[in-house]
Structure 1
Amino acid sequence: MAEPQQDAHQGDQDATMVRIGQAIMLHRGGDREEARNRFAALWTETDTDADLFYRCTIAHYMADTQDDPADELAWDLRALAAADALERDRVSWGEHQLAVRSLYPSLYLNLAADHVKLGDEQAARLELERARGKLDALPADAYGEGIRAAIERLEKRIANGAASPGGTDHLP
């Protein structure tokens, strides 16, 4: 009897990932509002304790659909909180262990970009330092190189004084 329940749970997880992927594709296709609506629905449907990986992913991408930098920061902080909760409960990581570890540099990078948009250079530098501290978790592939390059670009923007509220750089 346990196997059918396990299969049903796996099916629910697969369906959630498909729906997250669909919302990401909508956003990347330019439909921010529909992506935001779908992420919001997923957020309310996921369990705050049992679905931490999904909640981290949803919040991470939901942040990118926000029009207000303060709202973007709030969603990025939710993503980080979910990742931190997963870190504390490593037993539940399962197959998501590598994904969570490799997400940290991007989470911190996005927080840094949020702070730049809000004009808080000091907080941005702190988050970039945290991102750099997690770079060893990134694979040596296109994703890892993209995050490393984005960190360097944002550091240069801040160093050159180009960091100002309202910036619009998209980060991974």
Structure 2
Amino acid sequence: MERIGLGLDGVRAAQRGRSAEARALFEALWEALGERDVFHRCVLAHYLADLQDDPAAELEWDRRALAAADSLTAERAQTYESALQVRAFYPSLYLNLASDHLKLGEPDLAREQLERAVRSLDALPEDVYSAGIRTAVDELRQRLR
């Protein structure tokens, strides 16, 4: 229950624009989850990246999200949602890494990550969320030309 409370409090703080508070709550939740809960660590790191003020810190959290996804099995992910496919996480994860590298003035690394995102787009279903990812990939591709 403590972990659920931390998560809910973190979401509320983020929704209210209190990024520092949300970061602190989510970082406490990160520690409480431990190394074995890679599904939740992946999701949490993905959110924590978006709450960072420093692009280097954002990159580090996005790398943590990717590392968690890399160690996540389909069976583990499907304990939460039977249709969930881990490979569908990758377009967004790579897109975020590409964006991070661009913010840090590293366009070649951004292009590498964006290419990974493009190669993984086939894992996405046809839905509104996936359309948003595809649009963001296209927009970043235009910025990197």
Q: Secondary structure at the match of 2:34?
A: coil
Q: Secondary structure at the match of 2:47?
A: helix
**Equivalent residue for 2:136?**
150
**Equivalent residue for 2:44?**
58
The 2-side partners of 1:26 and 1:99 are apart by 29
Residue 72 of structure 1: CA displacement?
0.5
- TM-score normalised per structure 2: 0.88
Equivalent in 35, 39, 45 of residue 48 of structure 1:
35
Residue 23 of structure 1: CA displacement?
2.4
The 2-side partners of 1:44 and 1:100 are apart by 23
Residue 62 (structure 2) pairs with residue 104 (structure 1): no
RMSD, matched Cα: 2.0
Equivalent in 41, 51, 59 of residue 73 of structure 1:
59
**Equivalent residue for 1:92?**
76
Residue 158 of structure 1: CA displacement?
1.4
Question: Alpha carbons of 1:136 and 1:22: their partners in 2 closer, same or farther (altered >3 Å)?
Answer: farther
**Equivalent residue for 2:108?**
122
The 2-side partners of 1:35 and 1:23 are apart by 4
Amino acid at match of 1:130: R
Q: Secondary structure at the match of 2:89?
A: helix
Q: Percent identity?
A: 49
Aligned pair count reads: 143
The 2-side partners of 1:110 and 1:33 are apart by 20
The 2-side partners of 1:72 and 1:20 are apart by 19
The 2-side partners of 1:17 and 1:138 are apart by 28
The 2-side partners of 1:21 and 1:151 are apart by 30
**Equivalent residue for 1:32?**
19
**Equivalent residue for 1:7?**
none
The 2-side partners of 1:153 and 1:22 are apart by 33
Question: Alpha carbons of 1:92 and 1:134: their partners in 2 closer, same or farther (altered >3 Å)?
Answer: same
Q: Secondary structure at the match of 2:144?
A: helix
Bigger radius of gyration among the two? 1
The 2-side partners of 1:43 and 1:124 are apart by 27
The 2-side partners of 1:34 and 1:100 are apart by 29
Report if the CA contact (8 A) 1:23-1:38 is conserved: yes
Report if the CA contact (8 A) 2:74-2:85 is conserved: no
